[in-house]
Amino acid sequence: MPVKPRSQGTRCLKREANTALFLYSGSQDHFCRSDRRRSRWLDFAIEVGLAHGGYVAKGRKAEDGRIDEKYRLTELATNSYPERTKRNVRQSDGTIILSLNEKLSGGSALTLSYARHANKPVLHIHNSETGHDPLSHQVRRLKDFIESNAIEVLNLAGPRESNEPGVYRFTLQLLRRYSQQYRA
């Protein structure tokens, strides 16, 4: 089991003074660009210098091939995506699910179900909100969720880019804005 890191000397998002946020992902949120498989969650973590981790299915498998070794993920003995999802939910303090659509399906709906069943805090943020500056509202919801649940290890989940084209861009916009506003 990966240890919850206490980030010392590493840039990190803060939920409160002196408390680091560690990002978890099963990296199934990837997209493929020029035969290079990437994860929006983990790309963000690397971009801003956050500690990251999580569990992946045996063989680091993803729908379009093997998940890049640059991501610090623990490979499970099983190739079961549901087992990977359960493990990431259980090992985190809470889960956010980012999507373009209000209605979840597939693995994202399964993640929501697992989190509720395990009595873990879970928040679904979707890009179907309208109004004046919905991104700012979504960023505030993320901040409030992390702070009110004292989250140190945050599991990030959501649909694959192949199922919701544009979700990668939405996710990075939201996480970057969060980082700019609340990073130490």
Domain coordinates of the chain in residue numbers?
14-177
Q: How confident is the model at residue 183 (pLDDT cuts 50, 70, 90)?
A: low
Amino acid 71: pLDDT: 79
Query: What global pTM score does this model have?
Result: 0.80
Dump pLDDT digits (tens) for 125-155: 998 866 567 889 999 999 999 999 998 888 8
CA 183 to chain centroid = 17
Exposure string for 105-144, b = 16+ CB within 10 A, e = fewer: eebbebbbebbeeeebbbbbbbbeeeeeeeeeebbebbee
Q: Find tokens 């997209």 and name the residue.
A: 31
Mean of pLDDT over the chain = 77
**For residue 64, what pLDDT is reported?**
67
Cβ(147)–Cβ(15) below 8 Å = yes
Q: What mean pLDDT is predicted for residues 112-130?
A: 92
Query: Which pLDDT score, from 0 to 100, does residue 24 have?
Result: 57
Q: What is the full DSSP assignment across 117-145?
A: HTT--EEEEETT--SS-HHHHHHHHHHHH
Q: What is the pLDDT of residues 27-70, one digit of tens each?
A: 544 333 323 445 666 777 788 887 888 888 888 877 667 877 88
Q: Taken in order 69, 20, 148, 89, is the CA torsion positive or negative?
A: positive
Contact criterion met (CB below 8 Å) for 20 and 5: yes
CATH entry, 14-177, from 3.30.160.270, 3.40.50.450, 3.20.20.70, 3.50.50.60? 3.40.50.450
At 99, the pLDDT band (50, 70, 90 cuts) reads very high
